[in-house]
Amino acid sequence: MAIREILEVPDPRLKQVSKPVEVFDDALRTLVADMFDTMYDAPGIGLAAIQVGVPLRVLVIDLQPEDPDAEPQECTAHGGHSHTHRPTRKEPRVFINPVLTPVTEEQSVYSEGCLSVPDIYADVTRPARIHARWQDLDGTMHEAELDDLMATCLQHEMDHLEGILFIDHLSRLKRAMVLKKLEKIRRAA
Ligand code: GNR
Ligand code: NI
């Protein structure tokens, strides 16, 4: 369990192209566990390894962010001793070496944010449905067709593996405005 530091623009490491994972070992498990800790702590709905400075093609996603106002849940499992759990998240998912292909001309627009571009939100247009292939922590191959927020988030994360940020999809003028605003926020902090 460890929360790692999230890199922010203009850190040049965010522009690196990440390398495929070739060895599915305990170091990879630790990286993924730390990425979940870091993502939930932030909090965010996705995280790419390069955002914690590791240039490997590894993504974690959980679209079910924890509701901070939810009541702790009484748990009677584990043989009777009573304790409480925080509400469970629906779907922690790991995507290793993902390959995405749009399966429709249809586009969707979503107001995106990024943990590496704090406090900035902007509309980004992306294919609405994608076919995805990826490996899990054991190296087993999976594939699925994904849509809605999962398609948006996976494409946002996939961009990180190519060194691309969501603000790179904006017009040059808008991107300049965003970077200026970020600078201003930083100066004020
Ligand atoms: O937490 C995040 N929210 C989000 C919202 C819309 C589209 C994409 C995202 S991903 C982002 C976390 C992040 O920076 N992942 O790289
Ligand atoms: Ni991001």
The residue written with tokens 């994904």 in the block is: 146
Q: Is residue 6 part of a domain?
A: no
- 47: domain range? 12-188
Number of domains forming the structure of the chain: 1
Catalytic residue among 8, 145, 157, 183: 157
Q: What average pLDDT score do residues 89-116 get?
A: 94
DSSP, residue by residue, 26-62: HHHHHHHHHHHHHHHHTT-SEEEGGGGT--BSEEEE-
| Mean confidence (pLDDT) of the chain | 91
Closest-CA residue to 103 (of 129, 134, 133, 132): 129
Q: Is the Cβ atom of 58 under 6 angstroms away from ligand 1?
A: no
Q: Is residue 94 part of a domain?
A: yes
Q: What average pLDDT score do residues 119-134 get?
A: 97
Q: Distance of CA 8 to CAs 22, 38, 90, Å?
A: 27, 14, 28
* CATH assignment of the domain containing 70: 3.90.45.10
Rounded percentage of the chain residues whose pLDDT exceeds 70 = 86
pLDDT, residue 141, reads 98
Q: Is residue 5 part of a domain?
A: no
pLDDT, residue 70, reads 62
pLDDT digits (tens, 9 = 90+) for 73-92: 555 454 555 656 555 556 89
Q: Is residue 4 part of a domain?
A: no
> Is residue 1 over pLDDT 80?
no
Q: Whole-model pTM? A: 0.89
Which of 84-88, 146-150, 177-181 is predicted most confidently?
146-150
pLDDT, residue 91, reads 85
pLDDT, residue 163, reads 98
Q: Is residue 167 part of a domain?
A: yes
> Is residue 135 over pLDDT 80?
yes
Nearest-CA residue for ligand 1 atom 11 is 114
Residue 41 CA from chain centroid, whole number: 13
> Is residue 105 over pLDDT 60?
yes
Is 8 one of the catalytic residues? Answer: no
The SS3 call for residue 75 is strand
Higher pLDDT, 83 or 135: 135
pLDDT, residue 85, reads 52
Q: Is residue 148 part of a domain?
A: yes
Q: Is the Cβ atom of 156 under 6 angstroms away from ligand 1?
A: yes
> Is residue 43 over pLDDT 90?
yes
Distance CA 130, CA 36 (A): 24
The SS3 call for residue 182 is helix
> Is residue 108 over pLDDT 70?
yes
Higher pLDDT, 27 or 71: 27
Higher pLDDT, 186 or 70: 186
Q: Is the Cβ atom of 158 under 6 angstroms away from ligand 1?
A: no
